[in-house]
Amino acid sequence: MTKKIAVLGTGAIGSSIGADLTHAGYDVTLIDQWPAHVKAMKSNGLHVQFKDSQFQVPVKALNLCDLSAARQTFDIVFLAAKSNDTRWLAEFIRPYLKKDSIVVGTQNGMNDDAIAAIIGRERVIGCVVELQAELFTPGQIQRNTTRKGSWFTVGELDGAYTPRVKEIAAIMGKVGRCDVTNNIYGAKWTKLIANTMTMGPFSLLGLRNFEAAALPGMFDISVKLGKESMAVGTALGYRVEPIFGLRADEFAGSSDENLVTTMKTLLSHVGGGRTAPIHDHLKGRASEIEYISGLVARKGAELGIATPANAAVAALDHQINTGELPMEAANYALLQKNLGLGTA
């Protein structure tokens, strides 16, 4: 455990990863731009609260502005920032990488090519993340998925099974179950499909996942969103594959059945929490839905594939980001109206 690891972006997901890896004995530095959170981590470490257990762990933490003076380089960097911050943080960390350093994008969205364009394709490993947590108080993490209920898959961008991807899988195994795939782009797009079905519409409402999922007609809207996302992914050449730890036989069936299986599995993991963009809206920050539903809508337009549901979600999210619209349950009627399903 001599390799130096950085977690760049220590929101709820990054802090959860950093806390578990530190607790497991790895040499980890947590790097973030929120001064109060960094101060709390330096003073008291991280307190992680599960549903039925908790632990406190001292951690090494740096603010972004401290890194230059720290004179450190890292062997492995877990980039856990929101998609909005991918490019500038990839540029930021580049001087602190070695020639053979690895950057693992532990993010939603399809950001690996953007990271690779900045730090080099040979340095990037992709990762699909299923871990739900909340961070509103500096240094205090509410983790809503247990280690057993958290799931990751990692893969080389070219699909090769390499010693280093197996090493990353072993490291991430301290945070949750971690598989290795030869189809990381397909796995990440499959997760994006699930996010468009849940994160996208739920984020407009401010409700807990199980509350949003129970709204009349939401299931049909989610399936419509998923169908659009799957059609775009298929046209882009992505091969959908089982995620969330599902076996191939559990993922067998028609496309619609796969969508339903994926959505139900995701909700079984995170039903009691609130989706991440809601946290951003509550904190007055822009969400990353532009890189989820918005990406599907943009790629659909380029390919000539109609994506009215994803476009409607992205448009309402943009209005929330700009302050034109509050995040509230009443937005469900607006979404239904925009999709020709109801009145507002």
Q: Rounded CA gap, 171 and 178, in Å?
A: 9
Confidence of residue 186 (pLDDT cuts 50, 70, 90): very high
The confidence score (pLDDT) of residue 109 equals 95
Question: What's the pLDDT at 260?
Answer: 66
The SS3 of residue 62 is strand
Which ranges of the chain would DSSP assign to H, the alpha helix? 12-23, 35-44, 67-70, 86-93, 112-119, 163-172, 184-197, 199-202, 209-213, 218-236, 255-270, 276-282, 293-303, 308-321, 331-338
Domain boundaries, the chain: 4-182, 188-338
Confidence of residue 248 (pLDDT cuts 50, 70, 90): very low
**What sections of 24-151 are H helices per DSSP?**
35-44, 67-70, 86-93, 112-119
Place of tokens 């179950």: 177
Which of the four pLDDT bands, split at 50, 70 and 90, describes residue 265?
low
Q: Give me the mean pLDDT over the 173-197 stretch.
A: 94
Average pLDDT, stretch 211-216?
92
Res 61 pLDDT > 80: yes
Structure confidence at residue 149 (pLDDT): 87
Locate tokens 């469900």: which residue? Answer: 332
Q: What is the C-alpha to C-alpha distance for residues 219 and 109, in angstroms, rounded to an integer?
A: 22
The CATH class of the 188-338 domain is mainly alpha
Q: How far apart are CA 117 and CA 82, in angstroms?
A: 18
Location of structure tokens 């699930």 = 194
Mean pLDDT taken over the chain: 91
- Please state which CATH class domain 4-182 belongs to: alpha beta
Confidence band of 5 (pLDDT split at 50, 70, 90): very high
Residue 223: the pLDDT is: 87
pLDDT higher than 60, residue 177: yes
In this prediction, residue 98 has a pLDDT band, given cuts at 50, 70 and 90, of very high
* Mean pLDDT (whole number) for 166-180: 97
246 or 306, higher pLDDT? 306
